[in-house]
Amino acid sequence: MSGLASSSAASQSIARVLVVDDSAVARGLMTRWIEEDSDLSLVGSAVDGEQGLAKAKELKPDLIVLDVEMPKMDGLAALPLLLKAVPSCKIVMASTLTRRGGEVTIRALSMGAADYTPKPQAGRLAGAEEFRQSLLGKLKALAPRPIPPVPSSRDIRPAAPVARTLRPSSAPSAPAAPAARRPLTQAPAGRGPVTRMRGKPEIIAIGSSTGGPQALRDVIEKIPGDARAPMVLAQHMPALFTKILAEHLTKAGKIQCKEAADKERLAPGTLYIAPGDFHLTVRKDAGGFYAVLDQSPPINFCRPAVDPLFQSVAEATNGAALGVVLTGMGHDGRDGARTLRNMGGTVIVQDEKTSVVWGMPGAVAEAGLADEILPLAEIGTAVAQRMKGGM
């Protein structure tokens, strides 16, 4: 039975999806993939924003796949109307990897779209399988599920320290067992007693994925222009999009935001973003901190990845750093947060209620590696206070 015919009988755990795309080829592929997936139910499709809005009002889908460029009403014009018509719906923008597609996608994410998926350009079927995996993975991550109670931001349990490593294995590691809230005294191998960082962090390291661009905007807006620490970011995003993200964040805040360049010195009051398809790590020499870019294999299926960035920051600062893990699916950042905390650093994660997906911050919190779990609206202020030496 097709998803269209069976949507009324679908289990409440199966997400109901509406596809809005003017391309018959792209629309046909997406609808077929969704119908074939047992976790998703296709409830309808539309050829433009106007038709998509009418069907959304009628069908009340859980998820909408929204093309960027369409006749009559494009994706950017339809987005706020769809969010108003079905407030509980999560919208995934489908965009080609072009400068225009990237610009519109970043704008859509800042307007409330939950995520995006890159589409192969017309006539290029080579990227179809990657598109399928990205689309279905993101739809499933955004599917509505019961939300368990959120732990208090002051009731965080640190994990027992483990030996530190600079580069993580690509294989997931088991979460550390939570312990009662207490100062960390057990040391990683070869080191003295671990103490929590005091004073100003030398570097702020941020990791984010699904929902990240919108969350980052909220954080960056609250960072003062006279910030005295450099900031580094790994956002799961393809090449070209990260450059556009940097431009939008610069306009939104008071600090400069830019793609990091290999061997570039890190200056205070600047956010350095890992370019799409490159890992970003930080090193230190007599001249200070500098960025290193590489295309070593993906970690946690991601390049850039958060784990190697956090681990390198912990090494370069000897633990005098603040890690921030924002919304995103998966567990990238958990192993890096463990290294950072074991060296005396501090970790803040976004809470479940304000996260588009509580995968990454949730993995850190559930492993007992978060010093604080905060709603998004409080994270930028908390980072700014720690930059000034506040706790």
The total number of residues shown for the chain amounts to 391
* Residue 379 to residue 215: CA distance in whole angstroms: 10
DSSP 174: P
Give me the pLDDT at residue 20, please.
97
What is the percent of the chain where pLDDT is above 70?
81
pTM above 0.85, yes or no: no
Phi, psi of 66 (to 5 degrees): -120, 120
Which segments of the chain belong to CATH 3.40.50.180?
A: 203-387
Give bridge partners of residue 35 from the DSSP assignment.
none
- Is the pLDDT higher at 265 or at 25? 265
Give the mean pLDDT of 358-373: 97
Of 10-19, 36-45, 253-262, 302-311, the poorest mean pLDDT is in: 10-19
pLDDT digits (tens, 9 = 90+) for 147-205: 444 444 434 444 443 333 333 333 333 333 333 322 332 333 333 344 555 579 999 99
The token duo for 332 is 């990238």
Give me the pLDDT at residue 198, please.
59
- Would strands 256-259 and 231-235 be described as parallel, antiparallel, or unpaired? unpaired
- The average confidence (pLDDT) of the chain is 85
232: three-class secondary structure by DSSP: strand
Answer CATH for 203-387 from 3.40.50.180, 3.30.300.30, 3.40.50.2020, 3.50.50.60: 3.40.50.180
Q: How far is CA 261 from the centre of its chain?
A: 21
Of 54-63, 142-151, 207-216, 255-264, the poorest mean pLDDT is in: 142-151
CB 367 within 8 A of CB 359: no
Give the mean pLDDT of 287-310: 97
What is the percent of the chain where pLDDT is above 90?
71
* Residue 210 to residue 304: CA distance in whole angstroms: 14
Domain 10-142: give its CATH code.
3.40.50.2300
- Is the pLDDT higher at 155 or at 136? 136
Inform me whether the pLDDT recorded for 136 exceeds 60.
yes
User: What is the pLDDT confidence band of residue 125, given thresholds at 50, 70 and 90?
Assistant: low
Q: In one letter, which amino acid is 252?
A: A
- Residues 328, 334, 339, 341, CA torsion sign: positive
pLDDT digits (tens, 9 = 90+) for 51-106: 999 999 999 999 999 999 899 899 999 999 999 999 999 999 998 877 888 898 99
CB 66 within 8 A of CB 40: no
User: Which residues does the annotation mark as catalytic?
Assistant: 209, 236, 332
Give me the pLDDT at residue 213, please.
93
Which segments of the chain belong to CATH 3.40.50.2300?
A: 10-142
From 63, 12, 9, select the one nearest 34 (Cα to Cα).
63
CB 321 within 8 A of CB 201: yes
Q: 10 Å Cβ neighbour count for 21? A: 26
Give the mean pLDDT of 218-241: 94
316: three-class secondary structure by DSSP: helix
Inform me whether the pLDDT recorded for 351 exceeds 80.
yes
* Residue 186 to residue 77: CA distance in whole angstroms: 55
Give me the pLDDT at residue 247, please.
95
- Residues 297, 121, 91, 233, CA torsion sign: positive
Inform me whether the pLDDT recorded for 321 exceeds 50.
yes
Give me the pLDDT at residue 197, please.
59
- Would strands 288-294 and 279-285 be described as parallel, antiparallel, or unpaired? antiparallel
Give me the pLDDT at residue 172, please.
36
Q: Give ∠ CA 98-238-259 in degrees, rounded to 5.
A: 95
